[in-house]
Amino acid sequence: MSNVSYHSHTLADRVEEVLLRRQKGPLSVSELLKELTLEADGSATTLAAEHQLIQALREDDLRRAARGNRPRFVIIAGESVRLRAPGNDAEAAVERWNTKVKQGLLEQLRECDPIVFEHIVAQLLIAIGYEEMQVTKRSNDGGVDVHAIFSARGVTRVSTAIQVKRWRKPVGRPEVQRLRGSLKSTQQGVIVTTSHFAKPAIEDAAREDGNPVHLIDGNLLADLMAEHGLGVQTSRIAFFSLDEQRLSGGLPAAANATESEQVTLAMASGNQKYFLAQLPGGRSADYLSTLVVMAQIAEQQPSLDEYITLFQQRFPSITRADEARRRMRVLLSLGLAEIESDHVTLTVLGRHFLDNRDVRLLGEAFLTRIAGALEVQNLVKGIPDERQRRKRVADDPPAGLSSTQATLVLRWLTQLGIVH
């Protein structure tokens, strides 16, 4: 019955609260579960719990998409979760339009014939999972309007009495009390309204003594109708966004993987290689401290344009926006950040780097992801003098790299402590 509980605090809602406290993530599934179980009873996490959590978040995203809202989570390779970036202007416009349509749907429901409204609610409840639907005769409209059996995929069957209120005024406590008073000992109740519920009604419905009563207000009613395709039509168009990973020099690690999953897959398999751009400060830059600043800018999921503005404020020597954009792609090349809906977001690796300054992990990512990193490392192996290493790389760069690119890779290897 969780689909129709009024303002129910779902598992997905609790995950969102945790992620908001933790800079929007990403967090590993095990970390999320620890936070959630500490809030509950401190019970140990299990593989089954991890599966349940991921399944709940995926179902929440599918439900929100069906209701015309943007999904709120990004699940990376089934191992970590972060909050989705705010979205670009086009996505925001679509969401505003969908909200307007649902408001229009609700207004139409308030104006339709009462009997028609009862039958519409009955159709919706069938779509949700109710069976043996019976709309009562018009003479009984003051009490229960619909009788049904709620079937949880055939596992449980609960007799349910439904009352519908095609109202504009709020539904109060007396309506909740009257419905509960009419229920048999094994029944549950549902009140559906085109308006909203007064606070005393919500409090009374939440009582644990007595028969359960679930509330569906106008906004949830419109959401549920949109989700199940009742009273609305859905149009689908192709929606394009720039593939910043490819533009930074990489190729997809797996053709059927999402952009978020490709970051994790690339780190694991080494199938994706990137070319490096110069960091702000050039040769004299401290690469690690510069990366920390760049990752900190990405922490709040700014739009790409906002990121570029903040980047130029932190590194005023980069005066051109196109140059700032090119240099910030180092974060993408190293797997510390990605672009989603035109917003810059930290990856799991980026969050770990920012929280722990883990140079070892960054070095592993560099060798795995950067074109020519392993080749340059092998090329200078056994050469103790720094000047001789630079000469060797400049004179005989690995295939596919220019002397300049190979020298840049060598500087990174040196700063990361991979080459001594």
CA distance 132 to 145: 14
d(CA 281, CA 46): 47
Q: Using an 8 Å Cβ cutoff, are 132 and 156 in contact? A: no
pLDDT tens profile 301-353: 999 999 999 999 999 999 999 999 999 999 999 999 999 889 999 999 999 99
For residue 264, what pLDDT is reported?
A: 44
Determine contact, residues 57/81, Cβ cutoff 8 Å.
yes
Tokens 């005066």: give the residue. 319
Q: Is the pLDDT of residue 267 over 50?
A: no
Assess whether pLDDT exceeds 50 at residue 273: yes
Q: Exposure pattern of 317-340 as b/e (b: 16+ CB <10 Å)?
A: ebeeeebbbebbbbbbbbbbbbbb
Sheet architecture: strand order including 188-193: 130-135, 146-151, 157-165, 188-193, 213-216
Say what the pLDDT of residue 413 is.
95
Q: What is the pLDDT of residues 74-124, one digit of tens each?
A: 998 889 999 999 888 889 999 999 999 999 999 999 999 988 998 899 999
Q: Would you state the torsion angle of the CA atoms of residues 48, 51, 53, 57, taken in this order, to the nearest 10 degrees?
A: -160
The contacts of residue 15 (CB under 8 Å, 6+ apart) are: 32, 36, 53, 56, 57, 73, 81
CA 299 to chain centre: 15
Q: What is the DSSP string of 158-193?
A: EEEEEEEE--SSPB-HHHHHHHHHH--TT-EEEEEE
Average pLDDT over residues 366-377: 94
The rounded mean pLDDT for the chain is 87
Determine the average pLDDT of the residues in 195-219: 94
Helices and strands (DSSP H and E) totals, the chain: 19, 10
Tokens in use for 343?
């917003």
Burial class (CB in 10 A: 0-12, 13-18, 19+), 227: buried
